[in-house]
Structure 1
Amino acid sequence: MIEFYLNGRHQQLASVDPNLTVLEWLRTEARLTGTKEGCASGDCGACTVAIGSVEPTKSSGQTSTNVGDRLRYDSVNSCIALVGSLHGKHLITVDGLQSEPAHPVQKEMVECHGAQCGFCTPGIIMSLFALHTESRAAGTTADDAALMESLGGNLCRCTGYRPIVEAGRKAAVQSWEPVDGTGQGSTQNEIDLRGPAWLQNPEMIAELKQVQDNSISVSSESGRRYDAPASLEQLRQLRAEYPQARLIAGGTDLSLEITQFLRDLDHVIAINNIPELQEIREEADGLYLGAAASYRAVEQALASRWPHFHTMLERLGSKQIRNRGTLGGNIGNASPIGDMPPALIALGAELELDSADGVRRLPIEDFFHDYKKTDLRANEFIRGVWIPESQADEQLLIYKISKRLDDDISAVLGAFWFKLDGAIVEDCRLAFGGMAAIPKRALNAELELRGKPWNLSAVARAVSALAEDFSPMTDVRASAEYRQQVAGNLIRRALLDSARSDFKPVKHHADNNHKPLMVSEYA
């Protein structure tokens, strides 16, 4: 049984096809057609909804003790989110924002003329609604950076972003305390679709918290199955019994097989409900990140040690994608242009693979064998990633090259780890995405740098050695010649960046405001 709330009202689904997306369910079953389908791939944002997840609320004091539970609302692409992922959540659509007075985002979008054809508008409303809700809950006002980040996954072709951004700015400073038609507020037993009391209703939160920890197993009339185990042991058993089932976490890639390639998945096993796979744990000798931890969840832990992760993760998809996409999914997908694997390879990270037969670790660079082929055995799943602790004489630099600055796939991504002894490169790892069938180290280029002075002469030799390391392909994102040239330019860029007087590569420096050069600066 899948249990969740939709716009403040309880929902139960006893039988559902595992391939059914939230968007399709909303439009065909719930008959809420405000949410639109644009691209069906998580790019345009017309389908954006807000999903509330129960999380503990921390006190403002130094003890950081839990003072209660609240719902955190995140913007999500409903076109690639499966209905099964709604279990234990509160789904809010644009149809649920019917109130008097209107939500500030709706009001300002009208007054600032932020819509023309209106097809993209519901998604924009929901992205800004999620931003407004979370900033107000935190007692802050969203600034322009947060505003632009929230809109990075919403495309509008006819209005133009100036009035939309202006509407967001004006709405960000307003509170939302709507009332019912009597002007007295909602006093009915049934939760009304009204404001903050509806968003954080204690009874709803208590019920969601209770059901979210339960495992679920539902099937369709045709026999297709959706499982969401709640423990590692349950996942191990399911994986051993059904090795052909597809594992899903955020679904930002796997769901495209359903929406773009029109395939039906017979059996899906969702791993989001398992606490151990959500872990982010600081250890004495390194950092452990659970496979089902989202990009949003891992950003602070990574960027506080290696500042270049901040800019790279800002450019990994849109906010809707980062709210859902997971570390383990990006690795297990085994894409040659995945953004996380090159950085993890450069850091010497290890994968933890789990199964009914036990747990094993291996260097992440040994995980990838060939295009879409990995070391993962039939009954295994990725449990987490362990990254060795950074040292003061080490630095990590990450550069992503893509056609668009935001919400785009890499043409080339370079991740470079250096251990310097004064001006000498004591050790290094240079890892690239987009240069081969798998994320791969440039071993010959590394040899030209290791033990040599960190200067232009050594870099020139390393750049020349890239021709021995890679024979990239030409595709719609870049030609082979362009990729080869850019890869060399990124190593040159790393030398220039590390020589900057304001460059701060040491660990635990979250306030470092240095950002890598953006793609537009290479043009």
Structure 2
Amino acid sequence: MRRAIRFLRRNETVEARNFEPRTTLLDWLRLTERSTGTKEGCGEGDCGACTVVLRRLVDGRLVSNPVNACILLLGQVDGAEVLTVEDLAADGRLHPVQQAMVERHGSQCGFCTPGIVMSLLALYETGETPDRQGVTDALAGNLCRCTGYRPIVEAAFDALGRIEADPFAQRRLEVAEALAALRDEADVLVGDERSFFAAPASMEALARLYLDHPDATLVAGATDVGLWVTKALTDLPKIIWLGRVAGLDAVMEEEATLTLGATATLVRAREALGALDPDLDELMRRFGSQQVRASGTVGGNIANGSPIGDLAPALIALGATLHLRRGDASRRLPLEGFFLDYRKQDRQPGEFVTGVTVRKPAGRQVRAFKVTKRFDEDISAVMGAFCFDMADDGTVREARIAYGGMAGIPKRARAAEAVLTGAAIDDRAAAERAVAALDTDFAPLTDHRASAAYRRRVAGNLLMKALMEIATGDDAATRLIAHREVRHAAE
């Protein structure tokens, strides 16, 4: 048992032994280390002012990811290198990203600038030269209200166009060796039986610990739990972080199925799901920001039971099976059966999600649409996912329709599915009956994101849109921006 977390900071190993379990990385940086270049803005992982970069070894490769320090717990940096804006300049020279921001006048008030620089650093570290969409995706989690994004995007292109042997590049081998030296198979426990931050290293250790402490809070990426700390001011005396559990992040692909481990990040999930269908790739591209996708996990998005989580409806439409474990016992159930009521799941005390298996579409027609108030980094008002198994004559053999935002849980539209099963995909009357059947399936609420009437209208329109695209084989007519090179070419 290791009684401290360990991470790299400015070429040295830091051991933190005494900290409150709910301590955030931002608070440690600003209040303990006094590195105040990293700013606190929204406190909920939305504005990006607190962005720092974590370097980790992934499959023997050094990977740099931007994260929101305001909602990342200090204990989650175990085994990583933490980089902040103070670390970039060396020997009196600015980092190429910083220099480009200066030359392009990418900063005015400067409050958001450290976070923007760190997001661009993570992009710079990939060594890639993305197009404008790639740059704006990297900046989607950073809000600026002074400069406007044109000079910032221009600075990004300037920096990416002249990747050079900067100090970080020169230290990559040294950092990789240092991170490898930090790796061990020890379980981590900082604290005591009454209050602790724990990071078990194996599935067996996690199962034992959670059985002994079913009142503990499980944390994967903390993109939700972090807000309990910063916004709800929730006291979390016992935290079990899942990020060190060996094998829990595995992504396994077989001929007919894809299995995503509970701690597989949303970045990895996008790679796997995006390969199944372009709509799933687009859904995951708009899933929060790069910072959120780098931290957030598949299991976290499912287990928190949010009725507006985007992943669950898409996986339900694909016929997903959820895997759970309690002690030495494991069980499986259809994903839609996991959600019982608002924030209530079919999960026993001491039981945790280990992964989810989805059927590959294999010729089935898939559509997924997310409707939000703003395009980037926003929570869905309505999310609709559709999967149709088609017969050769154009009739629907099986319909799976799932929505988020239409009920207290992610939920299938079984009445609408029944109407469409056996009907021709281009049967307009059947489509209209299916849309009408949504009123049987759902009684949506009115809240600050949308009214009940709006949600009903949008849900029906999304279903009609999916049916129309499949029937005509042309999605360009129904979308403001066609899929470009990733359109449904098979149609």
TM-score, normalization: structure 1?
0.88
Is the CA contact 2:85–2:114 (under 8 Å) kept in the aligned structure 1? yes
The answer for the alignment partner of 1:418 in structure 2 is 388
1:221: Cα distance to partner? Answer: 8.9
SS in 1 for 2:169: helix
**Alpha-carbon distance change, 390 to 221 in structure 1, aligned in 2, over 3 angstroms:** closer
The answer for the alignment partner of 1:65 in structure 2 is none
Cα deviation, 1:355-377, whole Å, max 9, x if unaligned, reads 21411000000000000000011
SS in 2 for 1:275: coil
2:317 equivalent to 1:307 = no
The answer for the alignment partner of 1:520 in structure 2 is none
The answer for the alignment partner of 1:255 in structure 2 is 226
Matches within 5 A, 1:140-151: 140-151=128-139
Cα deviation, 1:304-323, whole Å, max 9, x if unaligned, reads 11221110001110010001
Aligned amino acid, residue 122 of structure 1: P
Aligned amino acid, residue 149 of structure 1: D
User: Structure 1 residue aligned with 2:366, among 386, 389, 396?
Assistant: 396
The answer for the alignment partner of 2:25 in structure 1 is 22
For residues 472 and 160 of structure 2, the distance between their equivalents in structure 1, rounded to whole angstroms, comes to: 37
The answer for the alignment partner of 2:461 in structure 1 is 489
1:23: Cα distance to partner? Answer: 0.5
For residues 445 and 273 of structure 1, the distance between their equivalents in structure 2, rounded to whole angstroms, comes to: 43
Cα deviation, 1:135-167, whole Å, max 9, x if unaligned, reads x2xxx3232121111100000011111111111
SS in 1 for 2:56: strand
Is the CA contact 1:248–1:270 (under 8 Å) kept in the aligned structure 2? yes
Matches within 5 A, 1:441-452: 441-452=412-423
Cα deviation, 1:319-348, whole Å, max 9, x if unaligned, reads 100011000000000000000111111111
For residues 95 and 272 of structure 2, the distance between their equivalents in structure 1, rounded to whole angstroms, comes to: 34
The answer for the alignment partner of 1:64 in structure 2 is none
Matches within 5 A, 1:85-100: 85-99=76-90, 100=92
Matches within 5 A, 1:95-134: 95-99=86-90, 100-134=92-126
For residues 386 and 282 of structure 1, the distance between their equivalents in structure 2, rounded to whole angstroms, comes to: 9
SS in 1 for 2:247: helix
Is the CA contact 1:237–1:356 (under 8 Å) kept in the aligned structure 2? yes
The answer for the alignment partner of 1:375 in structure 2 is 346
The answer for the alignment partner of 1:163 in structure 2 is 151
For residues 215 and 43 of structure 1, the distance between their equivalents in structure 2, rounded to whole angstroms, comes to: 34
Is the CA contact 2:425–2:471 (under 8 Å) kept in the aligned structure 1? no
The answer for the alignment partner of 1:66 in structure 2 is none
SS in 1 for 2:400: strand
Cα deviation, 1:206-229, whole Å, max 9, x if unaligned, reads 332243343443435995200000
The answer for the alignment partner of 2:479 in structure 1 is none
2:15 equivalent to 1:12 = yes
1:121: Cα distance to partner? Answer: 0.2
User: Structure 1 residue aligned with 2:448, among 476, 490, 510?
Assistant: 476
SS in 1 for 2:43: coil
Matches within 5 A, 1:27-106: 27-56=30-59, 69-99=60-90, 100-106=92-98
User: Structure 1 residue aligned with 2:170, among 197, 205, 218?
Assistant: 197
Range 281-290 or range 481-490, more displaced: 281-290
SS in 2 for 1:390: coil
Is the CA contact 1:430–1:443 (under 8 Å) kept in the aligned structure 2? yes
Cα deviation, 1:472-494, whole Å, max 9, x if unaligned, reads 00000000000000000001110
Is the CA contact 1:97–1:103 (under 8 Å) kept in the aligned structure 2? yes
Aligned amino acid, residue 129 of structure 1: L
For residues 327 and 18 of structure 1, the distance between their equivalents in structure 2, rounded to whole angstroms, comes to: 23
Is the CA contact 1:54–1:70 (under 8 Å) kept in the aligned structure 2? yes
Identity %: 44
For residues 168 and 312 of structure 2, the distance between their equivalents in structure 1, rounded to whole angstroms, comes to: 42
SS in 2 for 1:131: helix
SS in 2 for 1:436: coil
For residues 396 and 284 of structure 1, the distance between their equivalents in structure 2, rounded to whole angstroms, comes to: 18
Is the CA contact 1:291–1:384 (under 8 Å) kept in the aligned structure 2? yes
User: Structure 2 residue aligned with 1:463, among 435, 439, 442?
Assistant: 435
For residues 116 and 475 of structure 1, the distance between their equivalents in structure 2, rounded to whole angstroms, comes to: 36
Is the CA contact 1:215–1:228 (under 8 Å) kept in the aligned structure 2? no
SS in 2 for 1:29: helix
Is the CA contact 1:350–1:363 (under 8 Å) kept in the aligned structure 2? yes
SS in 1 for 2:248: helix
For residues 30 and 191 of structure 2, the distance between their equivalents in structure 1, rounded to whole angstroms, comes to: 19
Aligned amino acid, residue 314 of structure 1: R
Q: Number of aligned pairs?
A: 477
Cα deviation, 1:363-397, whole Å, max 9, x if unaligned, reads 000000000000011111100001123222x1111
Matches within 5 A, 1:277-296: 277-296=248-267
1:3: Cα distance to partner? Answer: 0.6
TM-score, normalization: structure 2?
0.94
User: Unmatched 5+ residue regions in structure 1?
Assistant: 57-68, 179-193, 505-509, 517-523
SS in 2 for 1:345: helix
For residues 216 and 159 of structure 1, the distance between their equivalents in structure 2, rounded to whole angstroms, comes to: 46
Is the CA contact 1:124–1:151 (under 8 Å) kept in the aligned structure 2? yes
Q: CA RMSD in A?
A: 1.9
